[in-house]
Amino acid sequence: MASRDEEHEPRTPPPIRDAARTRWTVHGVEPGQRRAPEETAVALVHDASTTAVMMATPADLEDFAVGFSLSEGAIARVEDIRDLDVVVQDLGVEVRMWLAPERALHVASRRRRLAGPTGCGLCGIDSLAEAVRSPRRVAGETVRVEPAALLAAMSALSDAQPLGRETRAMHAAGFWTPTSGLLAVREDVGRHNALDKLIGARARAGAAGAAAGVVLLTSRVSVEMVQKAAVLGAPILCAVSAPTALAIRVAEEAGITLVAVARADGFEVFSHRERVLA
């Protein structure tokens, strides 16, 4: 897959901007500034036709485009994208992808348009079956992790969020293994976007071994987050907030160990408990 960023084109907007604000406290009112995350309309374009328009943080957009394409089934592997351009427009950013011929036919046969607010995970789905599709079953039956190691991984994720520290308004998704630690982290104002960026980053790096690792999330766990973790092939998903009932059922079906409500002193395991050592 090639990628071009022409020098004469406008630069991608910064992911964070300074915003003027007035702060009120019991001690009085004071002017000042706050670092605010940017939201930009990002059009994901396959073979000159727009597949999706999502509101996202304008950072790691190549990763976002590849991860979204994998999550949505537009491509089966990163090599299905022959070329990729990030083009800044007046109203947002287009990420233009050109697909291998066989994938181009596949996308054309199931073309739909998605228009989503920040982090929309199922926008534009046109059937009930598509909304609750069964993910592929992950490998990693022999993976086992210590509870203390999972807590340490979540702590490492918190330390690896530069945009989140500046704004207090970002989600993050990370990939961690017991042997190598935290291997990748991506941030976005949308939790689905952050996970898509992580999927894309791992795919673009040619990374293998997802079946031995853990997806870490700073968000709640809805069904599409489980579906995306299954696309990555991670056998364990660990999140700060709680899961939905459907997410638990789909994680069970996909063979994913779902760990949630992770705090400094513990967490809750909802499916495939055998991977977390007692």
For the annotated catalytic residues, the residue numbers are 120
Tokens standing for residue 41: 């309309």
* Sign of the CA dihedral with 190 first, then 194, 199, and 204 last: positive
150 Cβ contact list (under 8 Å, min separation 6) = 214, 238, 259, 262, 267, 276
Secondary structure (DSSP) of 218-256: SS-B-HHHHHHHHHHT-SEEEESSPBPHHHHHHHHHHT-
Cα 54 to Cα 44: distance, rounded to the nearest angstrom: 8
For strand 93-99 and strand 40-46, is the pairing parallel, antiparallel, or unpaired? parallel
Number of other residues whose CB lies within 10 A of the CB of residue 36: 17
Cα 117-120-124 angle, rounded to 5 deg: 95
Helix (H) or strand (E) holding 150: helix 147-159
